[in-house]
Amino acid sequence: MSSTPEAVIRQWFKEVWDEGKEETIDRLMAPDGQIHGLTGLEGPPMIGPAAFKPLFQTFRGALGDLEIVVERTITEGEFCTAYCRVKGRHIGPHLGGPPTGRPVDFHGMTIARVRDGRLIEGWNVYDFLTMYQQIGWVGNPVVPAHA
């Protein structure tokens, strides 16, 4: 498979998230690769595959029938931005509460930096609030009335 940034990011979402191949994390993520924005409160990045795998296991354990569709990409040099749609069903307690069986369908984006066919940096922004609303853990906000 080609190691262009777009090819790597598409392979990452297909193999890691859709197919659940944990071994792909070791193959496609650099040992010192940095992942930003997936831990809730933004703190230091996760560094390397070993730091990323618990997050992978949490989401794969919580969401069954997981599918991440890369809807659009923009590539510039070593960087590829992927706009994604995430679909699945809440099947496990791994997010901190009992499984509800409810479907989830939300969007997000990843900006990945790829060098020599491996992810060396990733910045992530996903609409987890919508996911929690769909699971039923967070109520929908009141829509303000027009003045």
Residue 74 domain flag? yes
Q: What is the pLDDT of residues 2-48, one digit of tens each?
A: 689 999 999 999 999 999 999 999 999 999 999 998 876 567 899 99
Residue 38 domain flag? yes
Query: Is pLDDT at 141 greater than 80 in this prediction?
Result: no
* Strand 46-47 versus strand 29-36 pairing type: antiparallel
Mean per-residue pLDDT of the chain: 93
- What does each C-alpha distance from 31 to 50, 63, 84, 121 come to in angstroms? 9, 27, 25, 11
Q: Which domain holds residue 69?
A: 5-135
Q: What is the pLDDT of residues 84-101, one digit of tens each?
A: 999 999 999 998 889 999
Residue 29 domain flag? yes
Q: Distance (Å, rounded) from C-alpha 113 to C-alpha 62? A: 27
102-107 mean pLDDT: 97
Domain count, the chain: 1
88 by DSSP, 3-state: which?
Answer: strand
CATH of the domain at 10: 3.10.450.50
pTM of the model: 0.89
